[in-house]
Amino acid sequence: MRVVVGGGTGFVGTALTQLLRSRGHEVTHVSRRAGKDRISWEQLSQSGLPQCDAVVNLAGENVLNPFRRWGDAFCREVIRSRVETTKTLAKAIADAEQPPHAWVVVTGVGYYRPSPTAEYTEDSPGGDFDFFSRLVSSWEAAALIPGSPTRGVVVRSGVVLGQGGGAISQMIWPFRLGLGGPVGSGLQPFPWIHIRDLAGIVCHALETEGLRGVFNGVSPSSPATSNGTFARELAAALGRPALLPMPAWAVRAIFGAERAVMLLEGQKVVPKHTLESGYSFVFPDLPGALKDIVS
Ligand code: NDP
């Protein structure tokens, strides 16, 4: 299969590209910079979609970049980098003479309202109560191609855990030094997925004929994981204590109140459709996932 991946140069894209190539597929990235096995977004808009069987979008400015102040300009970039890239790929698919078979967009569980108790499946309502939920709604709406023969899949991802990027790379050093701990109260749910499984679900969606709709990209044990559990398990995997909580005020001071919600609150998300679709998780449990990542 020939697969075009927007944002394929990033953290998840690198894992997905490795997995797809290991399964004999060819991968071309769409990036802000053209290069080997890579076209630019401008080239895509001008010349259309290269001949391919499937398209994935993973592009997006890193929301939790602590070096970018949370303000209007950054919010616009967070939205534009997801919604406009998704629209550009959707238009290229709609205009293609030979449309691809499958189109997968990875969005986020921020679609569901944070709650310490409610459990959400793919059928649960959401998408209309704060910045992140509305962002996911417009992102997923941008992916729709009415009347298209191409089947569409949305994977709503939790916090992606893997080596060399994402959440773990931001917190591993305090934990290695024994200075890690829960964020805020630590009681908030922590929806997580191992990067190998997120790449695996996308690959499964591309390879399984007939699969369409929304799939939650979280581990099956994720609804039982709180931020405090995560901190304890990460510390245990590193053989360190997890004694120092990061107070809520410090999180708000670093990330801004709106963005701090992502760390101070969370959702219990169940991968119901994902499991029903026949996907088998490589890392269903947190200790195994963390052992793999920190070893
Ligand atoms: P990365 O931060 O690694 O970024 C992915 C790619 O997006 C980059 O390689 C870059 O490609 C492109 N990109 C970054 N900023 C911009 C920008 N301002 N404009 C256009 N393109 C940009 O993301 P991840 O791999 O971690 O995540 C992939 C997708 O999954 C994202 O959409 C993210 O929102 C979503 N997601 C990720 C989670 C996580 O925990 N990592 C959790 C939930 C959802 P290039 O430089 O080649 O242009």
pLDDT computed for residue 64 by the predictor: 86
pLDDT computed for residue 282 by the predictor: 98
User: For atom 47 of ligand 1, which residue has the closest CA?
Assistant: 31
Contact (Cβ atoms closer than 8 angstroms) between residue 84 and residue 36: no
* CB 216 less than 6 A from any atom of ligand 1: no
Domains and CATH numbers, the chain: 2-294 (3.40.50.720)
pLDDT computed for residue 66 by the predictor: 78
pLDDT computed for residue 65 by the predictor: 84
User: For atom 5 of ligand 1, which residue has the closest CA?
Assistant: 10
Structure ipTM: 0.99
The Cβ of residue 185 has, within 10 Å, a number of other Cβ atoms equal to 15
pLDDT computed for residue 58 by the predictor: 98
Question: Apex CA 74: angle with CA 180 and CA 109, to 5°?
Answer: 60
pLDDT computed for residue 267 by the predictor: 98
* CB 218 less than 6 A from any atom of ligand 1: no
Could you tell me the mean pLDDT of each successive run of 10 residues in the chain, 295 residues long? 98 98 98 96 97 98 88 95 98 97 98 97 97 97 97 98 92 90 95 98 98 98 97 95 90 87 95 98 98 94
162's tokens = 């893997």
